[in-house]
Amino acid sequence: MPVKIEQIDACRWRIPREGAMRTEGLVFADQAMIEVLQKEQALEQVRNVATLPGIVGRSIAMPDIHWGYGFPIGGVAAFDPDDGGVVSPGGVGYDINCGVRLLRSELEVSEVRPRLKELADALFRNVPSGVGSHRRDLKLSVQEECKVLKEGAHWAVRNGFGRAEDLEHIEERGTLPDAEPELVSDRALERGRNQLGTLGGGNHFLEVQVVEEIHDEQAAAVLGLFAGQVTVSIHTGSRGLGYQVCDDSIRTMLRAAAKYGIHLPDRQLCCAPLTSPEGKQYLAAMAGAANFAFANRQLITHWVRETFEQVLGKGPAQLRMGLIYDVCHNIAKWEQHEVQGQKRRLCVHRKGATRAFPPHHPDTPALYRAIGQPVLIPGDMGRYSYVLVGTPEAFDETFGSTCHGAGRVLSRHAAKKQARGHNTETELAARGILVRAANRATVAEEISEAYKDVKDVVNIVAQAGIGRIVARLRPLAVIKG
DNA sequence: ATGTAC
């Protein structure tokens, strides 16, 4: 049965409160997207989230929403601990702190093109990719791994991977507080030991890009972006460790939901009150996995810089590969938000949604205070990605959140079927995009046609005012899992 | 997303 939905304006839709819903749903989309969504499960998931105890504001869906485990991917939901609010592993996702970071450079595309093949090969060699990828040169002791879980990107910088100033340009400065590695299972720790500094599979990637369009000159200048410039994007998360933390937590949360008498329209929404031991334990284990992901992206950054230096024969001062920003899109976090004129400390779940804090927010890096927090939106490997900044409207309407990517339109299976008879790598190479992949099947699953055009997604968030477009980046070389 | 089920 289709979910009842009412149009608010050109890019906003309301799912009215009914049945067990404690609040209404708010979906950012255009007419065409809603028509597609009516045939899928995702809107029902928005409605299910609205039934959870202690939800504050609305159950929110971004234009890249699609079906996920319990909560939709592309969803935002905030909960109040003082009103029975809950935390749910399904509201974060299996890849805890999956996120994106963007490195700038002082290079023009013309300088890199002649060495692009060499660069792609070297990056592919130096950053392990693919499901199950690991590093032969770095297997941590469990004791050291626990330090990674406590310290996140700080651990990486302290051990010579990257620069102190990188930390200023990471969400939460690259470390979630209150991580408790003791709450992470032996199995999760074992899975993570040799996976730090690896890309993984699926839609994760490492991309050399060129800035092809500047939409906001002033903001671009503040971020250090210019047309024709080479940038690097890294999209990955907490690998097998985060997966295992989520999987372990789901078992606990199913028991907890029953124990605390929480009605679940879908077992995959299993959760526990934020004030309960189970809720606190999940958040502490999740923070450890999130810190692993921050460290992961920081290590990869170090090897990307090293690779550029080696291949192009230039030093750090010439390349100036500074970190523009690193932002999470699968996480639950304590944040201060104003609700009906009152400041409240809420647990904001963003699952396939990106934090987009406004100008002058204290958590926006000092250098970017005037323009807002950078928001990194990857598209598909054949088209482009976007850089946005957060807005006051996002802070008011979506707990400071916006979309996270293009959003799939074809299942992995359907994409593979469509790619049959095509040589995707050759076709992309003909368009000036080099692909290096650990697995050819992954390339087939990741064809452009498998995704919405990310332009349509960011145009909606820009039109709605929950993000401001700064620049568009086109891929030159893509390292895939 | 994920040693794509232990």
Domain assignments of chain A as residue spans, ordered by start: 6-93, 98-251+268-335+348-480
Q: Mind giving me the DSSP string for A289-344?
A: HHHHHHHHHHHHHHHHHHHHHHHHT--HHHH---EEEEEESEEEEEEEEEETTEEE
Split chain A (481 residues) into runs of 10 and give each run's mean pLDDT. 93 98 98 94 97 98 97 98 98 98 98 98 97 94 98 98 98 98 98 97 97 98 98 98 98 97 97 98 98 98 98 98 98 96 97 98 97 98 97 98 94 92 94 95 95 97 98 98 88
CATH architecture label of A98-251+268-335+348-480: Alpha-Beta Complex (3.90)
Contact A169, A325 (CB under 8 A): yes
What integer pLDDT is reported at residue A2 of this predicted model? Answer: 84
Could you tell me whether strands A330-339 and A342-351 are parallel, antiparallel, or unpaired per DSSP bridges?
A: antiparallel
How long is the CA A247 to C1' B5 vector, in angstroms? 13
How long is the CA A98 to C1' B3 vector, in angstroms? 19
- Decide: CB of A131 under 7 A of nucleic strand B: yes
Binding residues of A for GMP: 203-207, 329-330, 378-381, 385, 404-407, 480
A187: the nucleotide nearest its CA (via C1') is B3
What integer pLDDT is reported at residue A158 of this predicted model? Answer: 98
Task: Say if residue A42 is exposed, middle or buried (CB neighbours under 10 Å; 0-12, 13-18, 19+).
Answer: buried
What integer pLDDT is reported at residue A352 of this predicted model? Answer: 98
Amino acid of residue A277 = P
HSE toward the beta carbon, residue A371, CA cutoff 13 A: 21
Binding residues of A for Mn(2+): 95, 204, 235, 329
What integer pLDDT is reported at residue A451 of this predicted model? Answer: 95
Closest residue by Cα to the C1' atom of nucleotide B3?
A: A132
Contact A129, A199 (CB under 8 A): yes
Catalytic residue among A154, A361, A404, A413: A404
Contact A34, A5 (CB under 8 A): yes
What integer pLDDT is reported at residue A1 of this predicted model? Answer: 72
How long is the CA A191 to C1' B6 vector, in angstroms? 15
- Decide: CB of A202 under 7 A of nucleic strand B: yes
- Decide: CB of A48 under 7 A of nucleic strand B: no
Q: CA distances (Å), A161 to each of A19, A197, A291, A297, A452, in order? A: 52, 10, 15, 10, 35
Is A154 annotated as catalytic?
no
What integer pLDDT is reported at residue A178 of this predicted model? Answer: 95
How long is the CA A341 to C1' B1 vector, in angstroms? 38
- Decide: CB of A249 under 7 A of nucleic strand B: no
The tokens for A148 are 């990674």
C-alpha–C-alpha distance, residues A299 and A456, integer Å: 33
- Decide: CB of A237 under 7 A of nucleic strand B: yes
What integer pLDDT is reported at residue A429 of this predicted model? Answer: 95
Q: How many CB atoms lie within 10 A of CB A423?
A: 12
Q: What is the pTM of this model?
A: 0.98
Q: CA distances (Å), A179 to each of A152, A283, A389, in order? A: 10, 8, 28
C-alpha–C-alpha distance, residues A169 and A162, integer Å: 12
- Give nucleotides in strand B with any atom < 7 A to a protein C-beta: 1-4, 6
